[in-house]
């Protein structure tokens, strides 16, 4: 069996708490394990502050975890030589949050897409120009945009450029952090369709990070749901959405405003808000908002266990 392209094993990351907060540590990730197999598409879903962007930054090694291991194609990154490390960075590329806005405003679209090729010393300038033209075509942009600057493009076009840039080094895995949240609805669907196409054409693995279950549904095979630095539920995408087992997943689904005026669901709104990651309560971190909570939940923190094949849930009272 292939080894996963990316594997995180019991990864934890804390930050110094913001000034004025009562505790000293902000727990961004608390023992997260996750793997992405070649060609697989995984979505990591959670609300703000759940740690999903920290996880993305650790996966592409912009940040280091304090505990736990990151493995790339089965090799712990801490044991890679300099050259292996450089090669392994090419395998996993990040499309950052608000990628369109993060393009260098003084660089033409063509140079932005070519930049990773320059940094990793791929080809001469003529080969790179051909490569840029191919990439533009692949993401559905006209060749002529190569000489434009980011401000001359629409939001959707900028996001396509960011995806082309991430594809330049022919990675095996693309991590997309909120790839559509800043875009208009009609453009969001275009970008999701592009991600599906690119993945199918290149047999690429995807890790999509999002706050919104409905958006990831059309691109993900599997969903991991995060809450306060933990994965609380994991399973096949359609299964998790149709039959959530963790009360938090269920609440997320109930709170989602479906575009159907005959199914008004605001009465199902869960109470309360996500507690601070600085003052983590003992026990299950969702207990304070959970309608299934029992005394045990306030003291014993549930671990992620396999309830059924491919279905893992961290809850003392999972939904049947």
Tokens 């994965």 belong to 231
Q: Does the footprint of another protein cover residue 218 (CB under 8 A)?
A: yes
What stretches of the chain show up as alpha helix (H) in DSSP?
52-59, 82-91, 99-102, 109-119, 125-138, 155-167, 185-202, 213-216, 237-242, 247-255
Binding track over 27-66 against another protein, x by CB under 8 A: --------------------xx------------------
**Tokens describing residue 176:** 């997309």
17 vs 187, beta carbon nearer another protein: 187
Q: How far is the CB of 158 from another protein (least distance, A)?
A: 11
Q: Does the footprint of another protein cover residue 281 (CB under 8 A)?
A: no
Q: Does the footprint of another protein cover residue 189 (CB under 8 A)?
A: yes
1 vs 242, beta carbon nearer another protein: 242
Q: Does the footprint of another protein cover residue 94 (CB under 8 A)?
A: no
Q: Does the footprint of another protein cover residue 118 (CB under 8 A)?
A: no
Q: Does the footprint of another protein cover residue 142 (CB under 8 A)?
A: no
**Tokens describing residue 284:** 């299950």
Residue 11's φ and ψ, nearest 5 degrees, are -85, 130
116 vs 286, beta carbon nearer another protein: 286
270 vs 281, beta carbon nearer another protein: 270
What residues pair up with 8 in beta bridges, in sequence order? 34, 70
Q: Does the footprint of another protein cover residue 184 (CB under 8 A)?
A: yes
Tokens 């399973």 belong to 235
Q: Does the footprint of another protein cover residue 269 (CB under 8 A)?
A: yes
Q: Collect all residues with Cβ–Cβ distance below 8 Å to 214 and sequence separation of at least 6.
A: 256
Q: Does the footprint of another protein cover residue 159 (CB under 8 A)?
A: no
Tokens 């709104």 belong to 269
Give the N- to C-terminal CA distance of the chain in Å, as an integer.
32
Q: Does the footprint of another protein cover residue 156 (CB under 8 A)?
A: yes
DSSP assignment letter at 246: S
Q: Does the footprint of another protein cover residue 265 (CB under 8 A)?
A: yes
**Tokens describing residue 306:** 């396999």
Q: Does the footprint of another protein cover residue 186 (CB under 8 A)?
A: yes
- The only residue of 2, 82, 83, 261 in contact with another protein, by rule CB under 8 A: 261
**Tokens describing residue 26:** 């902000």
Contact assessment for residue 222 and residue 205, using Cβ atoms and an 8 Å cutoff:
no
Contacts with another protein by CB under 8 A lie at 47-48, 154-157, 184-193, 211-215, 217-218, 238, 241, 251-271, 273-274
């Amino acid at each position: 069996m292939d080894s996963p392209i990316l594997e995180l094993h019991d990864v934890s990351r804390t930050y110094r708490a913001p000034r004025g907060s009562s505790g000293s540590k902000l727990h961004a990730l608390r023992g997260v394990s996750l793997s992405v197999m070649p060609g697989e598409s995984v979505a990591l879903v959670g609300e703000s502050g759940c740690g999903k962007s920290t996880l993305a930054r650790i996966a592409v090694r912009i940040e280091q975890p304090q505990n736990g291991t990151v493995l790339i194609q089965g090799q712990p990154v801490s044991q890679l030589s300099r050259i292996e490390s450089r090669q392994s960075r090419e395998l996993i590329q990040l499309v950052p949050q608000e990628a369109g806005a993060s393009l260098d405003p003084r660089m033409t679209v063509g140079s932005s897409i070519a930049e990773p090729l320059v940094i990793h010393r791929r080809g001469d300038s003529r080969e790179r120009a051909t490569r840029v033209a191919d990439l533009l075509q692949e993401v559905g942009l006209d060749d002529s945009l190569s000489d434009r600057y980011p401000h001359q493009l629409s939001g959707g076009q900028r996001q396509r450029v960011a995806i082309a840039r991430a594809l330049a080094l022919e990675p095996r895995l693309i991590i997309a952090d909120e790839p559509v949240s800043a875009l208009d609805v009609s453009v969001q669907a275009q970008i999701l369709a592009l991600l599906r196409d690119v993945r199918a054409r290149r047999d690429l693995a995807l890790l999509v990070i999002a706050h919104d279950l409905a958006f990831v549904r059309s691109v993900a095979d599997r969903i991991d749901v995060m809450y306060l630095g933990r994965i609380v539920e994991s399973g096949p995408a359609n299964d998790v959405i149709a039959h959530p087992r963790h009360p938090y997943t269920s609440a997320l689904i109930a709170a989602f405003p479906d575009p159907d005026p005959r199914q008004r669901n605001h009465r199902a709104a869960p109470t309360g808000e996500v507690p601070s990651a600085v003052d983590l309560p003992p026990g299950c971190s969702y207990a304070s908002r959970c309608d299934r909570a029992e005394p045990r939940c306030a003291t014993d923190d549930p671990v992620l266990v396999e309830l059924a094949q491919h279905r893992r849930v961290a809850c003392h009272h999972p939904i049947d």
